[in-house]
Amino acid sequence: MIRSYLARPGRSYSTDSARRLEGKVALITGGASGIGKTTAHEFIKHGARVIIADVDSQTGPQAADELGPAAHFVHCDVTAEAQVENAVEIAMTRYGKLDIMYNNAGITGPSFPPSIADLDLNEFDKIMQINARGVVAGIKHAARAMIPAGSGCILCTSSISGLMGGLGPHSYAASKSTIPGIVKSAASELCGNGVRINCISPGPVPTPLSLDQIGLFYPGASREQLTEMVNGLGKLKGAKCEEIDVAKAALFLASDEAKYITGHNLVVDGGLTCFTNLAL
């Protein structure tokens, strides 16, 4: 039935999903580690060339080396707008275009809750600078490159911590909750320019960021034990969240298969936000 529908004259639908980003140029902030690095690997596997833009000058070049000739490292602190602009310019100079901008860099900050009554506002500012302002800077400079081209795809990493309470530091939750809002707002404008923008809200994924955070509560636990704890937070029977699950969501949203999707927040959390009682 479906086959005959797709086979109708005038209807085109590519089932060749082997290289879904062939010839595309992507820039990934926070691409030196975790979700960003795995996504870079996935994008390259699907034919893209990727700029790894990261503040970490040690792991960044290492990641680019590991990923091979299709990857290029650019030092970029997303809190410095000029460095974000520079990273976009490098993509444009080196490859002549920017098809995909993934604003993924983020931190959680050292203090897990404690009480909102004890919130350190300096720490709040620092997290907002990276997780919120850094993303907005990325959106702005990607838009400057993509609007004249009349096409492009912007992705941003939010978090389910921005959708519900009790999942991370208050400042982190605040920073992440800004992302779906700016994405919706930017999408409403960029629709007219042929540019799509979406965000992804992962649940807990075992990366350095979450393992360091949960490790604060279990100082004696090994990395493997912490990974198991993070994996155990998902609710979907038989599945555990890995970086690749988020990378696959990014791949889909970046590909032409999502050509009619913009302004969306794709939650990748194994059903966690479907529950009112998390019983963590």
Q: Interface with ligand NAD includes 61 (CB under 6 A)?
A: no
Q: Which is nearer to ligand NAD, 99 or 245 (CB)?
A: 245
Q: Which is nearer to ligand NAD, 125 or 189 (CB)?
A: 125
How many CB atoms are located within 10 Å of the residue 112 CB? 14
The residue within the footprint of ligand NAD, chosen from 24, 30, 99, 155 (CB under 6 A), is 30
Q: Which is nearer to ligand NAD, 62 or 193 (CB)?
A: 62
Give the three-state DSSP class for 105.
coil
Q: Which is nearer to ligand NAD, 155 or 258 (CB)?
A: 155
Residue 272 CB, shortest distance to ligand NAD, in Å, is 10
Instruction: Please list, in sequence order, all residues whose beta carbon lies within 8 angstroms of the beta carbon of residue 11, skipping any fewer than 6 positions away.
Output: 5
Q: Which is nearer to ligand NAD, 233 or 258 (CB)?
A: 233
Phi-psi map region of 127: left, alpha, beta (phi>0 left; psi -120 to 50 alpha): alpha
Candidates 9-17, 30-38, 94-102, 215-223; binding stretch for ligand NAD (CB under 6 A): 30-38
Q: Which of 225, 195, 208 is closest to 105 using CA atoms?
A: 208
Residue 101 CB, shortest distance to ligand NAD, in Å, is 13
Q: What share of the chain is helix, strand, coil (3-state, %, to 5)?
A: 50, 15, 40
Candidates 10-18, 29-37, 40-48, 93-101; binding stretch for ligand NAD (CB under 6 A): 29-37
Residues taking part in catalysis: 172
Q: Are strands 25-29 and 71-75 parallel, antiparallel or unpaired?
A: unpaired
Contact 163, 109 (CB under 8 A): no
Q: How far is CA 265 from the centre of its chain?
A: 11
How far apart are the C-alpha atoms of 136 and 142, rounded to whole Å? 10
Q: Which of 168, 163, 158, 161 is closest to 123 using CA atoms?
A: 168
Q: Interface with ligand NAD includes 29 (CB under 6 A)?
A: yes
Q: Interface with ligand NAD includes 71 (CB under 6 A)?
A: no
Q: Interface with ligand NAD includes 42 (CB under 6 A)?
A: no
220-279 binders of ligand NAD (CB under 6 A):
none
The residue within the footprint of ligand NAD, chosen from 62, 79, 111, 231 (CB under 6 A), is 79
Contact 206, 222 (CB under 8 A): no
Residue 104 CB, shortest distance to ligand NAD, in Å, is 5
Q: Which is nearer to ligand NAD, 138 or 152 (CB)?
A: 138
Q: Which residue blocks in the chain are alpha helix, DSSP H?
A: 2-6, 34-45, 59-67, 81-95, 121-127, 134-149, 170-190, 208-215, 223-231, 243-254
* Structure tokens that stand for 235 in this block: 């609710």
Q: Interface with ligand NAD includes 62 (CB under 6 A)?
A: no
188-207 binders of ligand NAD (CB under 6 A):
202, 204-205, 207
Q: Interface with ligand NAD includes 165 (CB under 6 A)?
A: no
Interface contacts to ligand NAD, rule CB under 6 A: 29-30, 32-36, 54-56, 76-79, 104-107, 130, 134, 157, 159, 202, 204-205, 207-210
